[in-house]
């Protein structure tokens, strides 16, 4: 019996570290993607500049962090404020076209993404930048007999806190209630005396702050480079679609699944890894026979129908 | 009277544009000619985007998916099976249609911005798969060394930029003509009616989902043909040809062209590609910044595209003239199956494709 258990442990052992990496990667994607879900679910905007907001956070930490705790916290504060500010700017740019169709708005956000990406490259150069983290996090810790990067373990903890806070904010606070109400019936919310423009601005600022925080904290995992914005946007988008477009729990599960596919999947099945994301999409489809929910979008913790 | 005049004018413009397009190889250098061939290819993808975005009402950022499928299928046929152009074009069309048929269940139940998100995810996953599936696609190194094609059996090999351009022009013209004919048929009417008032169409017993699925597969076939033409025009393939920026540029071109107009889609795409190439020549390194500004400006200035705005002005004049003569007449240019209250201006316009 113990021999069998040991064999099982031996079989799992080489995949433990990729699996843990997958959790870190997945939680990073969740923090990034949750901003996209908010934008899309509440304001009905496909924010193609979302990846650029992440890149703003990542470049902030690369520029500010010098290896100390204070500078990391400063970078986090600056990154969150910069992300929220960029989100507010985006809301301002979108205000004149708020009543037009989603195509116009998507084009506008893509223009902002292109121009923002070009400005970031002009400011920080075309190379990927190194990120210096506090010395205490630079080492490794012992996890089930393996050395594992301390920063990633710390990141898993912080991201879990963010995920829980976000879920509580959406389900338990007045702001979260307003946001859910605005998703369900914007006209009714407006007629009850809440300015929809203020909800839009608040949501875009929050989404920007989430992307900025993800960029600062996730820079050692997906670092600042000219391709960062595209990578983050694509992966967040896949997460949002797989997660059922609006469900917070679905988004979390999808983010973890995509994280595992990108790490454990590559370690387990390198030949089919490129198609695993497609396979995941097909699996989601098989579960939901009528495809993804297109019309009845609901922002909530649980199901989506 | 004015209708006949307008039709004449359009005929003259189309013939003129075609004449210039045929004469281009003798008017410019080979490099410009090959650039134009690639622009034509992207214009054809733009046609498939307009077909879905404007006519069917499914705004797409993912036509690079079937485009890539058609391109790689065409290239593989060219490398291993046949150098005959017709075979490659038909393979590309089949591959694009197959790709669209496989992804259609993801798209066809959704509407609006959800379609944008799903199609974008599909397109990006395709590029990722193409860059990692090295044994078939050559990965990020790309595929090269496809032998020169002969358009049909027995014809000579196309070995100059001019010849490849003219071949591309012929195939694009034929496909666009087919698309226009289909859109003028009852099939096009059903599609536009489904876009304008889906609930009413469903109530009348029309399988709207089936129509949209058919349009999506047809759009995939058109994009697949464009993919196989890209192999001919560019003689090299890499995942960069199918990136997110290409999808966005295509959508911008189609919106500038008025979203519902097939001719506008080609013109708009050509304009956007020309601006991109010109800007990257004039201001090397600053093209993204200028293009980004162009996107924002387009969103502010032409919410429904240049062609759409022009049609608005024309419709305004027409409706004024009509109000003076016969008040209360809804006019022949409204689709008869449309509901009374429609709020989205981009989706309320009836149009003749072309």
- Taking CB atoms and an 8 Å cutoff, what residues of chain B touch A122? 289
pLDDT of the residue at B213:
93
Please name the residues in contact with B278: beta carbons below 8 A apart, sequence gap of 6 or more: none
- Closest chain B residue to A291 measured between Cα atoms? B106
Task: Check: CB of residue B238 under 8 Å from CB of residue B141.
Answer: yes
A231 — pLDDT class (breaks 50, 70, 90):
confident
Q: Are the Cβ atoms of B106 and A291 closer than 8 angstroms? A: yes
pTM of the model: 0.80
Interface mutation target, options A36, A47, A55, A101, chain B, most CBs of B under 10 Å: A101
Q: Are the Cβ atoms of A116 and B286 closer than 8 angstroms? A: no
Q: Are the Cβ atoms of A291 and B248 closer than 8 angstroms? A: no
Q: Are the Cβ atoms of A106 and B116 closer than 8 angstroms? A: yes
Widest Cα–Cα separation across chain A: 69
- Taking CB atoms and an 8 Å cutoff, what residues of chain B touch A117? 288, 292
Q: What's the whole-number mean pLDDT along residues B271-289?
A: 83
Note whether A33 contacts B: Cβ–Cβ < 8 A.
no
d(CA A254, CA A48): 20
Which 3 state secondary structure label does DSSP give B353? Answer: coil
Q: What's the whole-number mean pLDDT along residues A259-287?
A: 75
Which 3 state secondary structure label does DSSP give B328? Answer: coil
Q: Is the pLDDT of residue A11 over 90?
A: no
- CA-based nearest distance B127→chain A, Å: 10
Note whether B133 contacts A: Cβ–Cβ < 8 A.
yes
H helix or E strand, kind and range, residue B139: none
Which one, of A247, A63, A64, A72, lies nearest residue A171 by Cα? A247
- Taking CB atoms and an 8 Å cutoff, what residues of chain A touch B106? 281, 285, 291-292
C-alpha to C-alpha distances, B178 to B183, B185, B190, B218, B233, nearest whole angstrom? 9, 11, 17, 11, 21
Q: Which of A111, A122, A292 is facing B110, going by the closest CB pair?
A: A292
A/B interface, count of CB pairs below 8 Å:
151
Q: Are the Cβ atoms of A238 and B300 closer than 8 angstroms? A: no
B130 — pLDDT class (breaks 50, 70, 90):
confident
Note whether A63 contacts B: Cβ–Cβ < 8 A.
no
pLDDT of the residue at B105:
84
pLDDT of the residue at A70:
84
Q: Which of A44, A93, A274 is facing B133, going by the closest CB pair?
A: A274
- Taking CB atoms and an 8 Å cutoff, what residues of chain A touch B299? 97, 104-105, 107-108, 111
- Taking CB atoms and an 8 Å cutoff, what residues of chain A touch B114? 245, 292, 294, 297
d(CA B351, CA B259): 11
Query: Using CB atoms within 10 A of its CB, is residue A86 exposed (0-12), middle (13-18) or buried (19+)?
Result: buried
d(CA B262, CA A70): 58
Return the HEC string of chain A: CHHHHHHHHHHHHHHHHHHHHHHHHHHHHHHHHHHHHHHHHHHCCCCCCHHHHHHHHHHHHHHHCCCCHHHHHHHHHHHHHHHHHHHHHHHHHHHHHCCCCHHHHHHHHHHHHHHHHHHHHHHHCCCCCCCCCCHHHHCEEEECCEEEEHHHHHHHHHHHHHHHHHHHHHHHCHHHHHHHHHHHCHHHHHHCCCCHHHHHHHHHHHHHHHHHHHHHHHCCCCCCCCCHHHHHHHHHHHHHHHCCCCEHHHHHHHHHHHHHHHHHHHHHCCCCHHHHHHHHHHHHHHHCCCCCCCCCCCCECCCCC
Q: Tell me the per-residue pLDDT of B17-70, one tens digit each, with 9 for 90 and over.
A: 888 888 888 888 888 888 899 999 999 999 999 999 888 888 888 899 999 999
Q: Is the pLDDT of residue B100 over 50?
A: yes
Note whether B236 contacts A: Cβ–Cβ < 8 A.
no
pLDDT of the residue at B341:
38
Lowest-confidence range among A41-45, B136-140, B343-347?
Answer: B343-347
d(CA A215, CA A130): 14
Q: Which of B107, B109, B124 is facing A234, going by the closest CB pair?
A: B124
Task: Check: CB of residue B204 under 8 Å from CB of residue B88.
Answer: no
- Mean pLDDT of all residues belonging to chain B: 82
d(CA A233, CA A229): 6
In whole angstroms, what separates CA B137 from the centre of its chain? 24
In which residue are the tokens 């994301």 written? A277
pLDDT of the residue at B309:
60
Note whether A113 contacts B: Cβ–Cβ < 8 A.
yes
Q: Are the Cβ atoms of B59 and A103 closer than 8 angstroms? A: yes
d(CA B133, CA B81): 20
d(CA B58, CA B195): 8
Instruction: Pick the more confident residue, B352 or B91.
Output: B91
pLDDT of the residue at B303:
61
**Percent of chain B surpassing pLDDT 70:** 85
Which 3 state secondary structure label does DSSP give B231? Answer: helix
- CA-based nearest distance A302→chain B, Å: 19
d(CA A271, CA B135): 10
Q: What's the whole-number mean pLDDT along residues B175-183?
A: 93
Q: Are the Cβ atoms of A238 and B106 closer than 8 angstroms? A: no
- CA-based nearest distance B125→chain A, Å: 7
Q: Is the pLDDT of residue B313 over 80?
A: no
d(CA B292, CA A34): 25
Lowest-confidence range among A26-40, A158-172, A180-194, A288-302?
Answer: A288-302
Please list, residue by residue across A258-269, b when 16 or more beta carbons sit within 10 angstroms of its beta carbon and e when fewer do: bbbbbbbbbbbe
Interface of A with B in 152-181 (CB under 8 A): none
Q: What phi-psi label fits residue A139: left (phi over 0), alpha (psi between -120 and 50 degrees) or beta?
A: beta
d(CA B339, CA B344): 12
In which residue are the tokens 């300015």 written? A195
- Taking CB atoms and an 8 Å cutoff, what residues of chain A touch B216? none
B328 — pLDDT class (breaks 50, 70, 90):
very low
B327 — pLDDT class (breaks 50, 70, 90):
very low
pLDDT of the residue at B316:
58
Note whether B17 contacts A: Cβ–Cβ < 8 A.
no
pLDDT of the residue at B289:
86
Task: Check: CB of residue A51 under 8 Å from CB of residue A114.
Answer: no
d(CA B105, CA A282): 10
Q: What phi-psi label fits residue A291: left (phi over 0), alpha (psi between -120 and 50 degrees) or beta?
A: left
d(CA A277, CA A258): 7
Note whether A117 contacts B: Cβ–Cβ < 8 A.
yes
Task: Check: CB of residue A281 under 8 Å from CB of residue A293.
Answer: no
Note whether A27 contacts B: Cβ–Cβ < 8 A.
no
Please name the residues in contact with A64: beta carbons below 8 A apart, sequence gap of 6 or more: A71, A74, A75, A78
Interface of B with A in 91-130 (CB under 8 A): 105-118, 120-122, 124-125, 128-129
Q: Tell me the per-residue pLDDT of A149-171, one tens digit each, with 9 for 90 and over.
A: 888 888 888 889 988 888 888 88
Q: Is the pLDDT of residue B340 over 80?
A: no
Question: Treating both helix axes as pointing N-terminal to C-terminal, what angle do A69-94 and A102-124 enclose, rounded to 10 degrees?
Answer: 140
Q: Are the Cβ atoms of B248 and A104 closer than 8 angstroms? A: no
Q: Tell me the per-residue pLDDT of B196-250, one tens digit each, with 9 for 90 and over.
A: 888 899 999 999 999 999 999 999 999 999 999 999 998 889 888 898 889 888 9
Q: Are the Cβ atoms of B117 and A245 closer than 8 angstroms? A: yes
């Amino acid at each position: 019996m113990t021999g069998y258990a040991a064999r099982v442990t031996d079989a799992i052992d080489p995949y433990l570290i990729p699996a843990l990496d997958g959790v870190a990667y997945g939680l990073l994607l969740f923090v990034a993607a949750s901003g996209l879900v908010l934008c899309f679910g509440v304001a009905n905007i496909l924010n193609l500049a979302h990846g650029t907001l992440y890149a703003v956070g990542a470049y902030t930490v690369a520029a500010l962090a010098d290896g100390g705790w204070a500078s990391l916290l400063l970078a986090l504060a600056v990154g969150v404020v910069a992300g929220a500010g960029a989100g507010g700017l985006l809301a301002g740019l979108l205000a004149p076209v708020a009543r037009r169709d989603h195509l116009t708005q998507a084009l506008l956000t893509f223009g902002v993404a292109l121009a923002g990406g070009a400005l970031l490259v002009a400011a920080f150069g075309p190379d990927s930048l190194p990120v210096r983290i506090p010395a205490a996090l630079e080492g490794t810790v012992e996890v089930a007999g393996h050395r594992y990067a301390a920063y990633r373990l710390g990141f898993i903890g912080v991201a879990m806190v963010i995920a829980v806070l976000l879920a509580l904010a959406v389900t338990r606070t007045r702001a979260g209630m307003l946001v859910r109400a605005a998703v369900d019936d914007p006209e009714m919310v407006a007629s009850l005396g809440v300015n929809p423009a203020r909800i839009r601005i608040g949501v875009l600022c929050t989404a920007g702050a989430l992307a900025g925080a993800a960029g600062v904290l996730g820079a050692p995992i997906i670092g600042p480079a000219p391709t960062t914005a595209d990578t983050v946007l694509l992966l967040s988008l896949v997460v949002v679609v797989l997660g059922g477009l609006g469900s917070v729990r679905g988004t979390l599960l999808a983010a973890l699944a995509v994280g595992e596919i990108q790490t454990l999947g590559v370690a387990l099945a390198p030949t089919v890894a490129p198609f695993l994301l497609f396979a995941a999409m097909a699996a989601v489809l098989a579960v939901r026979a009528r495809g993804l929910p297109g019309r009845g979008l609901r922002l909530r913790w649980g199901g989506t129908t | 009277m004015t209708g006949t005049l307008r039709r004449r004018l359009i005929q003259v413009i189309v013939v003129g544009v075609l004449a210039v397009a045929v004469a281009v190889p003798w008017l410019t250098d080979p490099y410009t000619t090959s650039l134009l061939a690639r622009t034509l290819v992207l214009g054809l993808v733009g046609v498939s985007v307009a077909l879905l975005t404007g006519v069917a009402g499914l705004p797409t950022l993912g036509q690079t998916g079937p485009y890539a499928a058609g391109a790689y299928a065409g290239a593989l046929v060219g490398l291993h099976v046949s150098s005959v152009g017709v075979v490659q074009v038909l393979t590309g069309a089949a591959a694009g249609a197959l790709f669209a048929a496989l992804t259609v269940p993801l798209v066809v139940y959704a509407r609006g911005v959800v379609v944008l998100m799903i199609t974008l995810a599909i397109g990006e996953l395709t590029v990722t798969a193409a860059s990692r599936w090295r044994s078939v696609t050559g990965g990020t190194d790309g595929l090269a060394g496809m032998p020169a094609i002969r358009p049909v059996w027995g014809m000579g090999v196309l070995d100059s930029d001019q010849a490849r351009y003219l071949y591309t022009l012929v195939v694009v013209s034929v496909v666009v003509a087919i698309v226009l004919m289909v859109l003028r048929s009852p099939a096009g009417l059903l599609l536009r009616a489904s876009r304008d008032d889906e609930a009413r169409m469903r109530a009348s017993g029309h399988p709207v989902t089936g129509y949209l699925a058919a349009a999506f597969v047809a759009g995939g076939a058109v994009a697949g043909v464009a993919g196989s033409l890209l192999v001919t025009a560019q003689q090299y393939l890499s995942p960069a040809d199918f990136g997110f920026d290409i999808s966005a540029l295509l959508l911008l071109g189609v919106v500038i062209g008025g979203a519902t107009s097939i001719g506008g889609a080609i013109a708009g795409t050509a304009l956007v590609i020309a601006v991109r190439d010109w800007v990257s020549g004039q201001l090397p390194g600053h093209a993204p910044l200028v293009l980004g500004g162009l996107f924002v400006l387009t969103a502010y200035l032409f919410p429904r595209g240049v062609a759409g705005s022009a049609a608005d002005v024309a419709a305004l004049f027409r409706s004024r003239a009509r109000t003076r003569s016969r008040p209360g007449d809804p006019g022949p240019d409204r689709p008869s199956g449309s509901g009374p209250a429609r709020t989205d201006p981009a989706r309320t316009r009836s149009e003749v494709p072309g």
